[in-house]
């Protein structure tokens, strides 16, 4: 578990790096602020009492994502490579190890070239910039999730996000333990559950995650209406709305852009061998 002081140090370092490099780092602050005491997921390097390097591990079912940063004044000293080597034992149980590098990060690209890994995929961070959405026709609604929905959410993680049954159970148990299940909504039509969506508020940002519709209900417009309802809910509160999507997912990209989402930044992922 990270202390309040450590979180402040990480935030300050992130702001320095992002301003210097002109990039957006994906540090998953909802997870950073709710770390488990029983797991080692964060690795830090200090010089003269100052945090100059950070690496975090983020588990999502079968995969673990690696993201980090080094202060501009302390690069080319092997700091991040040392942090990465230190973190490898903590990743040994993950089926997939993905190294996350912002697409515009020159220093990140230079480090990746020194690592035995292969390019896996990219994703866009998108921000809603659309005009006012049409009112709901009432055919699809978002209902706050409850404990009775756990099996539905597990099934969606298996069918839509490549989790196996055990990984989906562990992931949802952790989300419940960390208090994040309250951020989930069940997508319903005619009182039947057909999908889920998570809305995480981070200041004035509302970030959409885990958006999924059961395969047999896809292609019927339920996802579009559910996403529109989520945007209406959050913009009515004065929030800015964001989501992530894989760059090759043309179907999802078409849906999101048609609703009013615009590409803001890109993250690249590289597969590290087991």
What is the per-residue pLDDT across 91-107, written as a single tens digit (0 to 9) for each? 998 889 999 999 999 99
Average pLDDT over residues 221-245: 96
pTM of this structure: 0.90
Query: Residue 121 falls within a domain, yes or no?
Result: no
Taking alpha carbons only, the member of 134, 156, 262, 148 closest to residue 211 is 156
CA angle 19, 122, 169 (to 5 degrees): 105
Query: Which DSSP category does 166 fall into?
Result: H
Query: Residue 164 falls within a domain, yes or no?
Result: yes
Kindly state whether residues 84 and 151 are assigned to the same domain.
no
Decide which of 60, 93, 115 is a domain's last residue: 115
Identify the pLDDT of residue 102. Answer: 98
Count of other CB atoms within 10 angstroms of residue 114: 11
The tally of domains found in the chain comes to 2
Average pLDDT over residues 205-221: 96
Kindly state whether residues 144 and 219 are assigned to the same domain.
yes
Identify the pLDDT of residue 38. Answer: 84
Query: Residue 210 falls within a domain, yes or no?
Result: yes
d(CA 126, CA 102): 14
CATH code: domain of residue 162: 3.40.630.30
DSSP class per residue in 231-263? HHHHHTTT-EEEEEEETT-HHHHHHHHHHTEEE
Kindly state whether residues 97 and 161 are assigned to the same domain.
no
d(CA 234, CA 223): 17
Coil/strand/helix, residue 119: strand
* Residue 210, both tokens: 């885990």
Identify the pLDDT of residue 93. Answer: 87
Convert the pLDDT of each residue in 82-141 to its tens digit.
999 999 999 998 889 999 999 999 999 999 999 999 999 999 999 999 888 888 899 999
Residues spanned by the domain of 167: 128-264
């Amino acid at each position: 578990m990270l202390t309040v002081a450590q979180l402040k140090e990480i935030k300050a370092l992130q702001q320095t790096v992002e301003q210097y490099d002109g990039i957006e780092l994906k540090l998953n602050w909802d997870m950073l602020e709710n770390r488990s005491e029983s797991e080692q997921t964060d690795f830090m390097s200090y010089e003269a009492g100052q945090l100059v390097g950070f690496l975090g591990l983020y588990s999502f079912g079968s995969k673990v994502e690696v993201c980090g940063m080094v202060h501009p004044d302390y690069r080319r000293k092997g700091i991040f490579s040392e942090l990465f080597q230190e973190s490898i034992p903590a990743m040994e149980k993950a089926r997939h190890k993905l190294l996350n590098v912002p697409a515009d990060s020159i220093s990140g690209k230079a480090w990746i070239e020194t690592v035995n890994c292969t390019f896996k995929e990219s994703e866009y961070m998108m921000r809603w910039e659309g005009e006012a959405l049409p009112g709901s026709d009432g055919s699809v609604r978002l209902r706050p999730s409850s404990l009775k929905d756990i099996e539905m959410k597990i099934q969606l993680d298996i069918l839509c996000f490549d989790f196996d049954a055990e990984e989906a159970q562990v992931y949802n148990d952790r989300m419940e333990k960390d208090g994040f299940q309250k951020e989930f909504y069940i997508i319903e039509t005619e009182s039947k559950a057909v999908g889920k969506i998570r809305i995480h508020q981070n200041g004035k940002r509302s970030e959409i995650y885990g958006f999924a519709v059961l395969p047999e209900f896809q292609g019927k417009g339920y996802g579009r209406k559910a996403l529109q309802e989520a945007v209406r809910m959050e913009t009515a509160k004065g929030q800015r709305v964001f989501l992530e999507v894989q760059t090759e997912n043309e179907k999802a990209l078409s849906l999101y852009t048609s609703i009013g989402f615009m590409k803001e930044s890109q993250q690249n992922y590289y597969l590290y061998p087991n």
